[in-house]
Amino acid sequence: MKLLFQTRYSSYNKSMPERPILYSFRRCPYAMRARMALLASEQAVTLREVLLRDKPQAMLDASEKGTVPVLVLDDGVVVDESIDVMHWALKESDPENWLASIDTTLIEANDGWFKQALDHYKYPSRYDLEDAQGPRAKGLEHLKEIDDRLSGQRFLAGDQAGFADNAIFPFIRQFSMVDEKWFASLELSNLKRWLAGLLESERFETAMVKYAPWQDGDAETLFP
């Protein structure tokens, strides 16, 4: 199997955890897709919810990037890219055959130019933009492509949600929430049906359970 990206692992020299530790932030789309893959693979981890404005030193010791998700494996290996966390989980166990539904081109577009358009749409003043119309129109191109791909099928790879669906939908969710009234007006029935189905799933509900921010010395939380 060809991996989507070159897997980036590094070593962590602290005492080895009893089970993998996932540093996560509930509302981050990158962390969402990592949690969705862990749920699909039924891989148990210790979940540490973090505040991005007050990141725990243990997470920064493991990954200087300071972004979530960060997965510290029980052998000390650190995986700090969300796509790589997905790959790790599904290589351990893939009962729903997610790895057969990787769409490299679509995911790279999502994580590249669409994510940039999304950020500019959400925070135009941060990027010295007079308004968000340009990036919103650019992002809409991605939504239309997904809507087209969903014509005649429930999910991007057929009748069952897989890798590409779960890698992408957290970002589409975020885009839809910037201006919900405008999003509701779009004639993208396939995409809206697809997104609603994923957001209303029991798995997403489990992935979005709210946990108190972790601090050193707190009792550990098993996920899932």
Contact of 4 with 31, CB cutoff 8 Å: no
Domain that holds residue 64: 9-97+207-223
* Phi, psi dihedral angles at 18 (to 5 degrees): -70, -35
pLDDT tens profile 117-170 = 999 999 999 999 999 999 999 999 999 999 999 999 999 999 999 999 999 999
Q: How many Å apart are CA 24 and CA 22, to the nearest integer?
A: 6
Q: How confident is the model at residue 3 (pLDDT cuts 50, 70, 90)?
A: very low
Asked whether residue 1 is domain-assigned, the answer is no
Q: How confident is the model at residue 78 (pLDDT cuts 50, 70, 90)?
A: very high
| 93 lies in the same domain as 107 | no
Task: Identify the CA nearest to 104 among candidates 6, 218, 223.
Answer: 6
| 192 lies in the same domain as 134 | yes
Count of structural domains within the chain: 2
The H-or-E segment that residue 53 falls in is none
CATH of the domain at 37: 3.40.30.10
- pTM summary value: 0.91
CATH of the domain at 104: 1.20.1050.10
| 115 lies in the same domain as 84 | no
Asked whether residue 18 is domain-assigned, the answer is yes
